[in-house]
Amino acid sequence: MGVSEKFTLKGKVALVTGASYGIGYAIASGFADMGATIVFNDIKQEFVDKGLAAYKADGIDAKGYVCDVTDEAAVNEMVKKIEAEVGVIDILVNNAGIIKRIPMCDMTADEFRQVIDVDLNAPFIVSKAVIPGMIKKGGGKIINICSMMSELGRETVSAYAAAKGGLKMLTRNICSEYGKYNIQCNGIGPGYIATPQTAPLREKQADGSRHPFDQFIVAKTPAERWGTPEDLQGPAAFLASEASDFVNGHVLYVDGGILAYIGKQP
């Protein structure tokens, strides 16, 4: 097989969680362009419908399900339905995620748990639901959407950093435990990407100037810009395709160079 033939997803079924918009939508659209059949979920019918309309407008025949990824019974039910209605899942992207920006000492234990539940427990629940099908099928790809906060901390994101750091280790553990079944589990660590999740960090100030955090991120990124959801399409397609069959337990940071950079000299 030629190398270029390995960069296809023809005939593959891909489930991308929380993919009505944002990073998940871009990754799923990229997979569709590579030939995969796209399945996604969101928490509310309203968002699933919006997602379906967006995929349709892009010429993608996606299938959407209402499912909260923190609800194990609902996830198991959804995976069963996908297997019956679409086919056994070849590629899973654990993308659904939330953030709460609250100083740690002001955060309630409940708020901390909610973030851990969506950003760490859910990837465990969804992966656990799809792995048996992948084993029967002879292999599969799991991509966990990690973060800069899998490596770094900052004020107000204690729960998110704990969850994304944990997700990096869940990635390595799935690789360790299921690599022998031809399952590759890798992470993608996006840098700062312009999506609804980061919109509050980019809001214009009352005087029309840029948000100080916006300026801080552009200065901290060697590429000198925010990332776009589309910046993640190529890396995700690589990790979902046969081209990466011996890449396992790795986190690929797609961050315009943030993690390599000490910051601007004064």
> Can you tell me whether residue 201 is helix, strand or coil?
helix
Beta bridge partners of 94: 144
Q: State in angstroms the smallest separation of the CB of 76 from ligand GCO.
A: 28
| Token pair listed for 152 | 């770094």
CB 146 within 8 A of CB 164: yes
Catalytic residue check, 181: no
* Residue numbers at the binding site for ligand NAP (CB under 6 A): 17-18, 20-24, 41-43, 47, 68-70, 95-98, 118, 145, 147, 190, 192-193, 195-198
Q: Is 149 in the site for ligand GCO (CB under 6 A)?
A: yes
Q: Are 19 and 40 in contact (CB under 8 A)?
A: yes
Choose the binding region for ligand GCO from 14-22, 44-52, 136-144, 185-193 (rule: CB under 6 A).
185-193
Selection from ligand NAP, ligand GCO, none that 101 binds (CB < 5 to 8 A by kind) is ligand GCO
For ligand GCO, the binding residues in 35-94 under the rule CB under 6 A are none
Catalytic residue among 25, 55, 65, 160: 160
**x/- map, 158-177, ligand GCO, by CB under 6 A:** --x-----------------
Nearer to ligand GCO, 124 or 213 (CB): 213
Q: At what angle do helices 122-137 and 158-178 cross, to 10 degrees?
A: 20
Q: Work out the end-to-end distance of the chain between its first and last CA atoms, rounded to an integer number of angstroms.
A: 52
Bridge partner residues of 156 (DSSP): none
State whether residue 132 is helix, strand or coil. Answer: helix
55 vs 49: CA distance, rounded Å? 10
Task: Catalog residues that contact ligand GCO under the rule CB under 6 A.
Answer: 99, 101, 147-149, 154, 157, 160, 190-192, 197-198
